């Protein structure tokens, strides 16, 4: 039975033109097929982890107007990570915006064979001071609060992290982001 029906909605027409019917997928390599599927369906190899969702309200003549802020990290668990902040009147939309922004602002850094950072780093940003130290294999992520989900999506499996100063999750994660950006490559450390 063939389906010769023409979709009415523009999105339906676009899907019919671009996505092959079930059972008629082109015989591409597995990587090419995964890339095709991720482009068409919106799926990707990146993992998303929500760090904080915050609700704010504004008093208006008609009552309270709520808005939500989502802070999340997106990474490939192999040294590529991004941070996104999204605001919307609905939690789901705030998360979608945050994911979009995080994917746009992704950056890469070098990991060692033990899945840790290449050297210790100490950074002060505003009221936050962050100390990150590489750890041996098997140590795990020894960092609390918002740092743990950030390190997990970045692919860092062995690290010791310390937060001094502010308890603000957004400020803490931004300081860690800057610390990872400032990490030198392994071959640049000894120059």
Is beta strand 128-134 parallel, antiparallel or unpaired with respect to 159-165? antiparallel
Quote the number of domains for the chain.
2
| Calpha distance 91→86 (Å, rounded) | 9
Same domain, 113 and 177: yes
Same domain, 116 and 87: no
**What H or E segment, with its residue span, contains residue 162?**
strand 159-165
pLDDT at 2: 56
Cα–chain center distance at 187: 27
What is the arithmetic mean of pLDDT over 57-63? 92
Q: Give the residue ranges of DSSP H helices in 69-156.
A: 91-104, 147-154
Q: Give the residue ranges of DSSP H helices in 59-156.
A: 91-104, 147-154
| Calpha distance 36→21 (Å, rounded) | 13
Over residues 33-48, the pLDDT tens digits come to 444 444 444 556 889 9
Q: What percent of the chain has pLDDT over 90?
A: 64
Going by pLDDT thresholds of 50, 70 and 90, the confidence category of residue 13 is: confident
Q: Residue 27 above 90 pLDDT?
A: no
| Least confident window among 28-42, 64-78, 122-136, 156-170 | 28-42
Give me the domain span that covers residue 130: 109-181
Going by C-alpha positions, the residue among 138, 121, 88 that lies closest to residue 189 is 121
Domain boundary among 107, 128, 159: 107
Angstrom distances, CA of residue 130 to CA of 2, 126, 147, 175:
61, 11, 10, 7
pLDDT at 155: 93
Q: What is the pTM of this model?
A: 0.71
Angstrom distances, CA of residue 79 to CA of 35, 99, 111, 138, 151:
20, 17, 6, 18, 9
| Calpha distance 36→28 (Å, rounded) | 9
Q: Residue 18 above 90 pLDDT?
A: no
Same domain, 120 and 102: no
pLDDT at 33: 46
Q: Residue 1 above 60 pLDDT?
A: no
Going by pLDDT thresholds of 50, 70 and 90, the confidence category of residue 7 is: confident
Over residues 99-139, the pLDDT tens digits come to 999 999 999 998 999 999 999 999 999 999 999 999 999 99
pLDDT at 14: 73
Same domain, 130 and 148: yes
Same domain, 117 and 165: yes
Q: Residue 77 above 70 pLDDT?
A: yes
Same domain, 75 and 138: no
């Amino acid at each position: 039975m063939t389906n010769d029906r023409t979709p009415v909605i523009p999105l339906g027409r676009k899907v019919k033109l671009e996505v092959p019917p079930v059972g008629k997928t082109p015989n591409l390599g597995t990587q090419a097929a995964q890339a095709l599927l991720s482009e068409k369906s919106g799926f990707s190899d990146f993992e998303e982890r929500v760090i904080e969702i915050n609700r704010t309200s504004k008093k208006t003549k008609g009552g309270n107007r709520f808005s939500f802020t989502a802070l999340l990290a997106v990474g490939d668990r192999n040294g590529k990570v991004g941070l996104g902040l999204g605001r919307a009147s609905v939690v789901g939309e705030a998360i979608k915006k945050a994911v979009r922004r995080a994917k746009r602002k992704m950056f890469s850094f070098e990991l060692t064979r033990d899945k840790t950072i290449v050297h210790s780093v100490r950074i002060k940003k505003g009221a936050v001071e962050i100390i990150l130290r590489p750890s041996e294999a098997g140590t795990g992520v020894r960092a609390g609060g918002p740092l743990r989900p950030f390190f997990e999506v970045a692919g860092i499996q062995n690290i010791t992290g310390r937060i001094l100063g502010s308890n603000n999750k957004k400020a803490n994660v931004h300081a860690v982001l800057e610390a990872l950006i400032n990490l030198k490559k392994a071959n640049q450390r000894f120059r």
